[in-house]
Amino acid sequence: MTAHLTEPSRSTPIADVADVVVCGAGPAGIAAAIAAARTGAKTRLLEVHGCLGGVWTAGALSWIIEATRTGIMGEIIEALDRRGARADGAQVNFGYDVEVMKLVLEEMVRDAGISVQLHTRVVGVDRDATNRITTVITESKSGRQAWQGAVFIDTTGDGDVAAQAGCRFDYGHPDTGQTQPMTLMALVTGIQLDQVHPFVAGGAWPRTGAAHNARTRFRNGRDALLYELRRSGLEPSYQGPSLWSIYDDLFALMANHEYGVSALDANAITHATINARAEIHRLISGLRTLGGVWSQIRLVATSAQIGVREGRRIHGRYHITVDDLRNGTQHHDAVCRITSGADVHALTRAEGGFLSPTTAPLQDSATAAQEVAPIQPYDIPLRALIARDIDGLLMAGRCISGDFLAHASYRPTGYAVVMGQAAGTAAALAAATGALPHELPWSKVKTAIDKLAGTQHPRHAITPQPVG
């Protein structure tokens, strides 16, 4: 039985009143805030970490999947290219410099006129008598603060705002409740690309190297790195360890899995983070003992935030299912087209590496990393981004409304940016007109989304430069 403390009532100061309040500044939240501000809304952005970008930066992901060259994602790509901070020039999947990404996002948010507060966690929600969200409550070094708005967007990844508002949600595998493992990213140096490229799964390619096939490189590099780790006497918790080259002498490492960890349990996440960091140090030390190309390898940093693949999937006004993947479902209010398969990492260490046997009954329709039959391209409708159980709340990113396998398909961060851009645009229109998001005529939302997607901010419409 859990003991409880009854706190006395208190008066919480209202820190700000905005048209749109965006909670969470990861890839979806950044795009949502910029889109809302550019559509004319006074926008407030709240973020728990000390930088913008979420898993891109605090999570040191260093690898973006399913990016587009249009809209806000296109601007981010061009800003990275201007600084020579994007590896190999690929347009869909690419590595990037985490520190430059932080700066790029800060500049874009500042130029859009968005008010930001970092180091701030949402801990509560208030609603009015009509079931409309009116306020989020935060805790920070400034104490407890309230932030009021006309429309709110949950881009926390785990659906924290929606859950605090009492929204229903799904979590994990529908039969077992298991979730995909977490991963702590690392940045390493002391190795040179022209020497270790056979072990590299993606990113920059040696300047003197021959042309390569990305899929072949991914598989060969992953298998070769696993062989090296085993040669050092170690068995990584992730059977598909991967190095991504950012520069000739800087690499990102994804080599661990933490299984059975709930994204809703701070104590469990704490232990997972500590375990993962210890494993990364062991793996780096193991590679160093091999000598040769590994003799000077050094760990630069581990991410501040462990990478969470699955959190809450908030119930929306449309629920995306595996049948949408099977059938290539199209919607009149489509905000994003998904073309990738269901990327399901093994749910237990006993299963080994990448493909989870739990998906076997559906392998005729959905795939893990597209290893079986490809899916049919399908749409994400705006309705899946609008909370069902409370008014005035949108979601974007991996916490939108969908089932286990659909989520594994639409969760890449490139898609999160497109969803965020749509959610931010819709939120701004709702705030300007006094309508609730689900009441907006789709024709007006689509016109505004298309206008924003086709218009680059002058500061960021820069001719790409080669990576240096």
Tens-digit pLDDT string for the chain (468 aa): 679 999 899 999 999 999 999 999 999 999 999 999 999 999 999 999 999 999 999 999 999 999 998 999 999 999 999 999 999 776 689 999 999 999 999 999 999 999 999 999 999 999 999 999 999 999 999 999 999 999 999 999 999 999 999 999 999 999 999 999 999 999 999 999 999 999 999 998 887 665 668 889 999 999 999 999 999 999 999 999 999 999 999 999 999 999 999 999 999 999 999 999 999 999 999 999 999 999 999 999 999 999 999 999 999 999 999 999 989 999 999 999 999 888 888 888 877 655 443 333 333 223 333 333 467 999 999 999 999 999 999 999 999 999 999 999 999 999 999 999 999 999 999 999 999 999 999 999 999 999 887 654 433 332 222 222
Contacts of 437 (CB under 8 A, 6+ apart): 151, 386, 392, 393, 394, 426, 427, 430
Predicted pLDDT of residue 350: 77
**Tokens found for residue 222:** 């992953």
Residue 406: partners with Cβ closer than 8 Å, 6 or more residues away: 320, 321, 322, 324, 325, 342
Q: Which of 32, 318, 311, 16 is nearest to 152 (CA)?
A: 32
The conformation of residue 6, written as its DSSP 8-state character, comes to P
Radius of gyration of the chain, Cα coordinates, nearest whole angstrom: 22
CATH number of 14-171+380-460: 3.50.50.60
pLDDT tens, position by position, 109-156: 999 999 999 999 999 999 999 999 999 999 999 999 999 999 999 999
pLDDT reported for residue 374: 63
Q: Where are the beta strands (DSSP E) in 329-458?
A: 334-338, 378-381, 393-395
Boundaries of every domain in the chain: 14-171+380-460, 186-302, 331-377
The pLDDT value given to residue 353 = 57
The tokens for 293 are 């190309």
Please return the burial class of 114, using the count of CB atoms within 10 Å of its CB with bins 0-12, 13-18 and 19+: buried
Within 10 angstroms of residue 295's Cβ, the number of other Cβ atoms is: 12
Question: Tokens 């909670």 appear where?
Answer: 23
pTM beyond 0.85:
yes
Q: Which helix (H) or strand (E) holds 126?
A: strand 121-127
pLDDT, residue 91, reads 67
Neighbours of 296 (CB within 10 A): 11
